[in-house]
């Protein structure tokens, strides 16, 4: 079964909104390589509507020598939305039915891992259904003191197990967590909220 992981740029106070406005001073060649290895280790993207709209507006016009943009543009994209109808970005497909079953079906397909970029509400909802296998948080040494945090209104408690850490230049730390299934029996037994699309 394929792994479904969520990956995000996050400030020290948990904000992931508009990272292009605050993460450039901390970027490095090592950060670039980390994201490249992550992208080329996946062969599908799962995105909330807002993240999809932002990506679809930017990536089709990008080019680079390392093939990063080509990879992003050509990967299959599964978009969770109850309002979008027309998806113009290459290889994008709308998910509107039973999302829990559809995500489970995607994970059972052969292939590499599936990545969720950003899409905070979607990640939180899928966590409540026990469908997120791993969280990959790139923590930047900045406190914004504003905007919603990544886990705002999560609604349930989730125990995570740290499985990997990376220290990058400029104070950036990468943390990989997975859900601690044995310690989350009470969480997994709770009635999950409806899956959100953001």
Domains and CATH numbers, the chain: 4-189 (3.40.430.10)
Structure confidence at residue 194 (pLDDT): 46
The rounded distance, in Å, linking the Cα atoms of 128 and 121 is: 11
**0.75 cut: is pTM over it?**
yes
Q: What is the mean pLDDT of the chain?
A: 86
Structure confidence at residue 191 (pLDDT): 45
Q: Would you say residue 198 has pLDDT above 70?
A: no
Tell me the pLDDT band of 192, cut-offs 50, 70 and 90.
very low
Structure confidence at residue 109 (pLDDT): 94
């Amino acid at each position: 079964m394929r792994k479904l992981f969520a990956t995000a740029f996050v400030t020290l106070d948990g904000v992931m909104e508009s990272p292009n406005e605050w993460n450039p001073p901390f970027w490095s060649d090592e950060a670039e390589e980390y994201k490249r290895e992550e992208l080329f280790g996946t062969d599908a993207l799962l995105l909330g509507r807002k993240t999809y709209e932002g990506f679809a507006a930017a990536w089709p016009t990008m080019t680079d020598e390392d093939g990063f943009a080509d990879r992003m543009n050509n990967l299959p994209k599964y978009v969770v939305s109850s309002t979008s109808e027309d998806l113009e970005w290459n290889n994008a497909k709308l998910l509107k039915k039973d999302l829990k079953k559809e995500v489970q079906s995607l994970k059972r397909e052969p292939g590499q891992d599936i990545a969720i970029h950003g899409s905070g509400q979607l990640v939180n909802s899928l966590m409540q259904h026990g469908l997120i296998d791993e969280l990959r948080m790139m923590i930047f040494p900045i406190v914004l003191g504003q905007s919603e945090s990544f886990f705002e209104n999560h609604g349930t408690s989730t125990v995570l197990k740290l499985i990997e850490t990376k220290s990058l230049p400029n104070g950036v730390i990468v943390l990989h967590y997975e859900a601690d299934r044995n310690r989350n029996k009470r969480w997994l037994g709770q009635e999950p909220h409806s899956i959100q699309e953001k």
